[in-house]
Structure 1
Amino acid sequence: MVKVRSPRWQKKRMLKLKEDGVTVWCQSHKMSSWAKEQKSFNVMDVECIQEGCQSETLRRMAGSVPEDQCLTVVFKGSRKSLDLLCESQEEARHWVRGIHTLQERLKNMNQKDKLDHWIRTHLSKADQNHDNKMSYEEVQKLLQMINVDLSDQALNQGCRCVELDCWDGDKGEPVIYHGHTFTSKVDFVDVIETINEYAFKASPYPLILSLENHCSREQQMVMARHLRSILGDKLVTKPLKGLDSCYLPSPEDLKGRILVKGKKGKTQEQCSSSSSDLSSSEEEASQKQAKPKTNEEDKPGVSRRSPELSELVVYTRSVPFKSFELSAKSPATDMSSFPESVALRLIKDSGTHFIRHNSHQLSRIYPSSQRLGSSNYNPQEMWNAGCQIVALNFQTPGEQMDLNQGRFRQNGLCGYVLKPPFMCQPDSVFNPENVGGGPGHRPVKFTVQIISAQQLPKPEWDKPTSIVDPQVRVEIHGVPIDNMKKETPYVGNNGFNPRWDCTFNFMVHAPDLALVRFVVEDHDFTSSNDFLGQYTLPFSSLRTGYRHVPLLKLDGSSLSPASLFIHVKVTPC
């Protein structure tokens, strides 16, 4: 085909669908890292294909090129569109049909097909000499690709804060892995390149890189160099001009920007009181033991932070939490991280003070190191206290990830939602443990009628001849007084159009914080019910009247055409 950038810039290029069936390779003679990124694209990254001279570039050429041989590949996110001139009308139609067919095929894959395809793709990429055998070096490459792949999956789900556990690597290049464990090591530079590519595909709003820094001063300098060279103008290196330094910039101010979260280097006199960039697990251990964090910088052989890396920390400076009183006197750019157990204790003992703290500074909550299976805690309890960055194990599906997806379903899944006004005031008296009569107490009666369902699937592991016995559970997740679950009876042997006509009433005291979760399960007499589908959304996003609820799979992807048919009524009390 002919790649077109302007009426004067037109170059013949070879395009080829690779063996994985999802990647299109585009010929390029440029050797820069940016050009290499643009040499291929995944068909699922394609927003749409415009046939004819519809793009601005091709419209300028209308009349001078055959319109039925032109097409424009429009990508999701910030990647520039690709204008192409095919050799014939049939070839243009062939590529349009082909990409649409591949997209539909991928959307309709079941979980087993997706896993098989993912495994084959990564094994093929790692087998560099294509001998169908895996050398030690190729196994290492495979493990690295898997780790990097998990990073871009999280970003594509709207994740806006990524923790990077950084350690000294061989040959002067830092690596990322969970220290003192058997997790595979990934080059820091590879992860930053992945982040650069995927950071703003799902959301244009700022991304925070939380650096857990265990590197020597020399390799910190390498980290700083990679961050600057790869991320370029996306990286925030100085405070934004024209903004009040007493407050943090808004997500709108930081659109398209990447922030580094970490400790800032201090002067020689201050070094004796500074703490190291401990990882989440080490930070949790130090808080459990009720001891001050070890000052690694005072140990022999451990270098102080490099100024090159420290100066990249602008709006998200990591500091140890000591008390709400001291934090209130600190700048808004300071932020603390809390293990889930400490956060829960603070919520129960000092809920109102935690709310006020979170109106002034950012808080990051992370899972306990005791969660060896990468399970997740309930994020709703942390959102009730106004905590902004509630870190979860994105690789583990389940109720907690459903709540996370539901919380951020509003605002176009951009990864940011605005807290209710009563949680944003520095003198707020809201207490998530006791909302009776105070701010945020706006009780409503929520009446939902579960009428029927349509085209429910059966569990993938069931026999082809089996038929589901579906039942529906409606859950309210919010402040403790609002947490409640109610479920319908099951309908025997009907997954095509089961009907319940069950009506449930809920009293919701703090609707601004509540989530509603619809869960459909296959009733089982002898064991726990099998999950069929779910949908979670903020209570404030509910619409009254007759509604169809689209169901989602365990991994959050669409279960179309499966849905629930319900009626919603909300009455102020």
Structure 2
Amino acid sequence: MGTYKCCLIFKRRYRWTDAPPPEDVRSLFAQHSGGTATMGADGLRRYLESTGTDPDLDADAEAERLLDQIRQAQRVRVPRVGRPLLGIDDFHRFLFSDDLNPPLRRPQVHHDMAAPLSHYYVYTGHNSYLTGNQLSSDCSDVPIIKALQRGVRVIELDMWPNSAEDDINILHGRTLTTPVSLLKCLRSIKEYAFVASPYPVIITLEDHLPPELQDKVAKMVLEVFGNILYYPQEEHPKELPSPEDLKGRVLLSTKPPKEYLEAKAAGTIKDGDAEANPGKGGTDDDAAWGKEVPDFKTEIQFAKQEDDALDDDDEEEDEQQIQQHLAPQYKHLITIRAGKPKGGTTSDALKSDPNKVRRLSLSEQELAKAVVNHGTEIVRFTQRNLLRIYPKGTRITSSNYNPFIGWVHGAQMVAFNMQGYGRALWLMHGFYKANGACGYVKKPDFLMQSEPEVFDPKKQQPVKKILKVKVYMGDGWRMDFKQTHFDQYSPPDFYARVGIAGVPADSIMKKTKAIEDNWVPVWGEEFSFELTVPELALLRVEVHEYDMSEKDDFAGQTVLPVAELQPGIRAVALCDRKGNKYPNVKLLMRFEFESV
């Protein structure tokens, strides 16, 4: 009886598909096996070399390693004498294994990490302590831990005095959110800071404290982090350190806080998001699964209908006020200082001081207004300074916005509600799969160039590359879902949506036909995508189940950075709505690049 159960488990786990290998797979096998019925290490090595898979690896050693893993996974019987040989079905199973044949290059850091922090996009969270919506959810260190485990590198904490005004709470100010102590959050950050990445964790502090509590914050921070806390020796560094220099370190970033009593009396809202107005609606444009990510051209157009002036009176104060209101020790511990030059215009806010660097924060709406007339100024500002973008205050459900409007202008900290869900967040998670998923992605060279001119995001760029994507087939739903999950009486009717998220000229979605009544859909459809900014493009993949009478059912999604795709036939694992990988659901796809 025990043996019988083992066989059932074996069949369920390793029986990848009932559909025969696609013709392209058969052709590849014949090509690299020399036309024989079996393939050994030499043939597999030739295949790996032909696809450019991990060119820095020893192809012979990699072929042997893969053969050994295939043997273990498939229980291939190997004769005592001679090397193991693979048949066409074994080769197909190898191609359909996301562990053995993933779509992205091997997960290791490969970008230059020695440039200043301003040269990198940084995986950034917003209101990192919230467990749910922005108005009434609990505050906790749990979402902070989850974010760090995913690889998020910027954690935001809102600091407020407790009721006795002798300690510090973390909460979304003037809302019904229940507080969590600052000390608990700091200790959790220290424990989980480097479980997913060795590169620096930045804590952005929204400061609503009087000087005496700022001093208490300084003591807490020093006590908790000790020698892993980095802070500059000079008061105004001209350049930020590099991620490589800051490996294993934690650093603070905060804007100059207003005096607590003044802020309390005026009822001002730090960062434009410390208080959301319930009267402005609780449903956002991409809160539901079915809504598309808004195209940022639409967002800019909407912003143009509003007041063109940036409402920054609740933003950073000038350097003189920093000196006046910051507790001395607290001020000394701030590595990335937020501040805005005197003035009030967008051009003033985007002025770069050659003698010091700073961080500027803009809401998504403020950014949309600013890019209309100041796009190249923003790009130039972000070449040396940090720009942080945060969600508008009416995103009560913790939804998010289109991140590309920030990325294409060089904004390093595009802050997202990581506790929310939806397609915009899928894009964020997919973007940071790049560079070994370390949480830092080096910005494209064109965003760092000032000669002959600064990059203008408004200008139409020529097509640089063409990405061809073929969707062969899918499998795994019958193992990960109940038989009646999609349809009570018949097998599901799956179709795939494939497309690009990026600059407006590149963004498009296409879809396959629906395959009726089949748990193992075979599409065999190819799509072509022209890319003007391939450096920032993301490949979007979704599968849905067609329903004639009701809304189509969700059946999986993933987002992959185009720059990291490995050419050739690859297994693409799909995730659920929350971004968690399904155990078995995957697609067999092919990627090809053509230069223009």
Q: Common fold, TM-score beyond 0.5?
A: yes
| Partner in structure 2 of residue 311 of structure 1 | 332
Q: Deviations over 1:529-549 (max 9, x none)?
A: 222111211111112221111
- The higher relative CO (CA closer than 8 Å, separation ≥ 6) is in 2
Cα distance in 1 for residues equivalent to 2:310 and 2:271: 16
Cα distance in 1 for residues equivalent to 2:309 and 2:576: 37
**2:446 maps to 1:443:** no
| Partner in structure 2 of residue 339 of structure 1 | 363
| Partner in structure 2 of residue 411 of structure 1 | 435
Cα distance in 2 for residues equivalent to 1:494 and 1:376: 35
- Of 526, 538, 543, 1:515 maps to 538
User: Retained in 2: the 8 A contact 1:284–1:338?
Assistant: no
| Partner in structure 1 of residue 580 of structure 2 | 557
- Of 248, 252, 256, 2:240 maps to 248
- Of 550, 557, 563, 1:534 maps to 557
Task: Tell me the amino acid that sits aligned with residue 241 of structure 2.
Answer: P
Q: Secondary structure at the match of 2:526?
A: strand
| Partner in structure 1 of residue 504 of structure 2 | 480
Q: Deviations over 1:453-482 (max 9, x none)?
A: 112244896577663211101120111111
Structure 1 residues 319, 311: closer, same or farther in 2, change over 3 A? farther
**2:227 maps to 1:233:** yes
1:288 Cα shift? 7.2
For residues 59-208 of structure 1, the aligned pairs below 5 Å read 147-171=140-164, 172-208=166-202
Structure 1 residues 335, 182: closer, same or farther in 2, change over 3 A? same
**2:375 maps to 1:351:** yes
Structure 1 residues 221, 245: closer, same or farther in 2, change over 3 A? closer
Cα distance in 2 for residues equivalent to 1:415 and 1:526: 42
User: Retained in 2: the 8 A contact 1:455–1:563?
Assistant: yes
Structure 1 residues 294, 560: closer, same or farther in 2, change over 3 A? closer
Structure 1 residues 229, 466: closer, same or farther in 2, change over 3 A? farther
Cα distance in 2 for residues equivalent to 1:226 and 1:379: 34
Cα distance in 2 for residues equivalent to 1:307 and 1:567: 58
Q: Which 10-residue stretch deviates more, 520-529 or 205-214?
A: 520-529
User: Retained in 1: the 8 A contact 2:316–2:338?
Assistant: no
Cα distance in 2 for residues equivalent to 1:463 and 1:504: 29
1:216 Cα shift? 1.7
Q: How many residues align?
A: 412
Q: Secondary structure at the match of 2:495?
A: strand
Cα distance in 2 for residues equivalent to 1:295 and 1:210: 13
User: Retained in 2: the 8 A contact 1:144–1:186?
Assistant: no
Structure 1 residues 359, 503: closer, same or farther in 2, change over 3 A? same
| Partner in structure 1 of residue 405 of structure 2 | 381
| Partner in structure 2 of residue 258 of structure 1 | 250
Structure 1 residues 197, 466: closer, same or farther in 2, change over 3 A? farther
User: Retained in 2: the 8 A contact 1:445–1:507?
Assistant: yes
- Of 451, 464, 475, 1:454 maps to 475
| Partner in structure 1 of residue 547 of structure 2 | 524
Cα distance in 1 for residues equivalent to 2:185 and 2:543: 38
Q: Deviations over 1:4-52 (max 9, x none)?
A: xxxxxxxxxxxxxxxxxxxxxxxxxxxxxxxxxxxxxxxxxxxxxxxxx
Q: Secondary structure at the match of 1:540?
A: helix
1:179 Cα shift? 0.5
| Partner in structure 2 of residue 292 of structure 1 | 313
| Partner in structure 1 of residue 125 of structure 2 | none
1:318 Cα shift? 4.0
User: Retained in 2: the 8 A contact 1:177–1:186?
Assistant: yes
Structure 1 residues 463, 448: closer, same or farther in 2, change over 3 A? closer
1:322 Cα shift? 4.7
User: Retained in 2: the 8 A contact 1:262–1:277?
Assistant: no
User: Retained in 2: the 8 A contact 1:166–1:213?
Assistant: yes
Q: Secondary structure at the match of 2:440?
A: coil
Structure 1 residues 561, 283: closer, same or farther in 2, change over 3 A? closer
TM-score (ref. length: structure 1) = 0.66
| Partner in structure 2 of residue 546 of structure 1 | 569
Task: Tell me the amino acid that sits aligned with residue 432 of structure 1.
Answer: P
Structure 1 residues 327, 295: closer, same or farther in 2, change over 3 A? closer
Task: Tell me the amino acid that sits aligned with residue 495 of structure 2.
Answer: Q
| Partner in structure 1 of residue 458 of structure 2 | 433
> Tell me, which stretches of 5 or more residues in structure 1 are unaligned?
1-142, 267-275, 298-302
Task: Tell me the amino acid that sits aligned with residue 410 of structure 1.
Answer: A
1:349 Cα shift? 2.6
**2:304 maps to 1:281:** no
- Of 476, 485, 493, 2:517 maps to 493
TM-score (ref. length: structure 2) = 0.64
Structure 1 residues 254, 280: closer, same or farther in 2, change over 3 A? farther
Cα distance in 2 for residues equivalent to 1:284 and 1:465: 46
| Partner in structure 1 of residue 353 of structure 2 | 329
User: Retained in 2: the 8 A contact 1:317–1:333?
Assistant: no
Cα distance in 2 for residues equivalent to 1:294 and 1:350: 19
1:348 Cα shift? 3.2
User: Retained in 1: the 8 A contact 2:573–2:582?
Assistant: yes
User: Retained in 1: the 8 A contact 2:206–2:255?
Assistant: no
- Of 451, 455, 468, 2:492 maps to 468
User: Retained in 2: the 8 A contact 1:283–1:293?
Assistant: no
Cα distance in 1 for residues equivalent to 2:315 and 2:507: 40
User: Retained in 2: the 8 A contact 1:380–1:403?
Assistant: no
| Partner in structure 2 of residue 43 of structure 1 | none
Cα distance in 1 for residues equivalent to 2:329 and 2:561: 42
> Tell me, which stretches of 5 or more residues in structure 2 are unaligned?
1-135, 259-267, 278-306, 319-323
